[in-house]
Amino acid sequence: MRKEGWWLTLLFVALLGAMAATPLIERPPALRTHSGAAEFNEVRARARLATILGDQRPHPADSEAGDLVRGRLIAQLQQMGLKPIVRDQFACNELYKQRGVSCARVRNVLAVLGPPDGKALLLNAHYDSTSVGPGAADDGIGVATLLEVAAILKVRTLKRPVILLFNEGEELGLVGARAFLADPLSRNIDSLINLEARGVRGPVNMFETSRPNAAPIGVFARAVKGPVANSLSTDVYRLLPNYTDVNSF
């Protein structure tokens, strides 16, 4: 093997080692079992997940089980004093990494917090699952996390509007996210945080951004204590035949 080949091999091994070591370097903080209403509580979030999933049946978009999950989701929002909005739409989405168009009836659930004016922040997670699993990780934990965040924001004074989007149809081809683009609430958004599954353990990893991403990466680094991200994983993800809702927004 030529000298250049050895260097490339060593570089590749070093990068793999760095990625493997990331969870060890940035372990999640210890589980908090006691915290006030204005702080994130992992125990509450897990309880919300159990409530949302109910009997843990698969709940794909536009299914009876999906209707039950949506009902429990709406009840959680109402218990916080929020006024959830349900958008019943038929939408289609064409994905650039694969052939064909995905169409479905979807019911997106929305809630709005903060002042009525100003550029809004969109917080998004999808509540549908595949047809073969309950979707606890993908994306039930994202939904539960977003519910816990909503409870925190509800008791705080916000400087800008925050829109919560619990979309349906992600597993069918990001259909719910595409449907939201036709929603009047989508017209005044300037930033997005999408909660999506990538594994079931370890730290929260920011693995995908819009492009160009210098500005959002800077905001992320300043706002998050112990941020975990990897530019290599971001580039590799773009080569894979996978999507998240970010690809539709």
Question: Which of the residues are catalytic?
Answer: 170
Identify the CA nearest to 194 among candidates 152, 136, 249: 249
Identify the CA nearest to 112 among candidates 66, 154, 56: 154
Distances (CA, A) of 51 to 36, 48, 125, 200: 21, 5, 16, 19
Residue located via tokens 């975990």: 228
Residues facing residue 206 across a β-bridge: 229
Four-CA torsion 207, 212, 215, 217, nearest 10 degrees: 20
Question: Under 8 Å CB-to-CB from 115, ≥6 apart: which residues?
Answer: 158, 159, 160, 161
Helix orientation angle between 42-53 and 64-79, rounded to the nearest 10 degrees: 140
Do 208 and 237 contact (CB within 8 A), yes or no? yes
N-to-C CA span, the chain = 46
**Region at 31 (left for phi over 0; alpha for psi -120 to 50; beta for the rest):** beta
Q: What number of residues does the chain have? A: 249
Distances (CA, A) of 203 to 139, 236, 237: 16, 19, 18
